Amino acid sequence: EVQLVESGGGLVQPGGSLRLSCAASGFTFSTYWMHWVRQAPGKGLVWVSRISSDGSSTSYADSVKGRFTISRDNAKNTLYLQMNSLRAEDTAVYYCARGVTVAVTTPLEHWGQGTLVTVSS
Amino acid sequence: DIQMTQSPSSLSASVGDRVTITCRASQGISNYLAWYQQKPGKVPKLLIYAASTLQSGVPSRFSGSGSGTDFTLTISSLQPEDVATYYCQKYNSAPTFGQGTKVEIK
């Protein structure tokens, strides 16, 4: 059974940093592109970032480019999102997600339960 | 960047009604279009991908159609358990979600 478990969320002041983790199990982690998607309270889904199976290729939404960094450790089956220069508008539940297939162009089939990040003074 | 626009933003229908949600891409995306269902307090669930392929385990009352820029999600007979917000997503190049359509029972 595919499992994705996020951690690392919490309360942080504007301008601060936070690193999210997503522990994966139940599949061959090193073969899949992985994604981060966020959802502000009461709002819609917003794609944040994705990373290739070997970590060599990444892409970001314009709203987080230059502030967030996605990475992975295939030996530890873990996905990360380093978030710097956090703003109030980054407040959201952050989900990690895996596609249906190992291709880059694939919809998101498996989702974690999410971790809440709150940016506030 | 390609924008995804859903309509309506919300709807209310009776049990048994046929419900249609529309998603429009600002540029052609072939059939790289997925639909997700998110029930209150729950994680999004993939319903349809490749515009019209039903994900395993999804009831057959859900269907999708379209290609290029215009897509639809249809619920043939609305059930109480279908109360949720539905999102379209293009998944080629930069993945982008629509703003969502909230479906309620009248």
Note the pLDDT tens digit of each residue in B39-94: 999 999 999 999 999 999 999 999 999 999 999 999 999 999 999 999 999 998 88
Shortest alpha-carbon distance between residue B91 and chain A (Å):
6
Q: Would the CA dihedral through B68, B70, B71, B74 be positive or negative?
A: negative
Shortest alpha-carbon distance between residue A61 and chain B (Å):
8
Q: Quickly state the pLDDT bin for A47 (edges 50, 70, 90).
A: very high
Q: What is the pLDDT at residue B93?
A: 84
Cβ of B97 and A45 within 8 Å? yes
Element (H, E) at A58: strand A58-60
Strand partners, B92: none
**Mutate which of B32, B38, B43, B85 to test chain A, going by most A C-beta atoms within 10 A?**
B43
Of A46, A105, A111, the CB nearest to B97: A46
Burial letters for A33-63: b for 16+ Cβ neighbours within 10 Å, e otherwise?
Answer: bbbbbbbeeeebbbbbbbbebeeeeebbbee
CA-based radius of gyration for chain A: 13
Cβ of B97 and A109 within 8 Å? no
Mean pLDDT of A54-58: 97
- CA distances (Å), origin B96, targets A62, B46, B62: 12, 15, 22
Element (H, E) at B13: strand B10-13
Nearest CA in chain A to B29: A105
Cβ of B100 and A44 within 8 Å? yes
The pLDDT tens digits for B30-50 are 999 999 999 999 999 999 999
Q: What is the pLDDT at residue B78?
A: 98
Q: Quickly state the pLDDT bin for A105 (edges 50, 70, 90).
A: very high
Instruction: With a cut of 90, say whether residue A106 has pLDDT above it.
Output: yes
State how far Cα B37 lies from the chain centre. 7
Shortest alpha-carbon distance between residue A109 and chain B (Å):
6
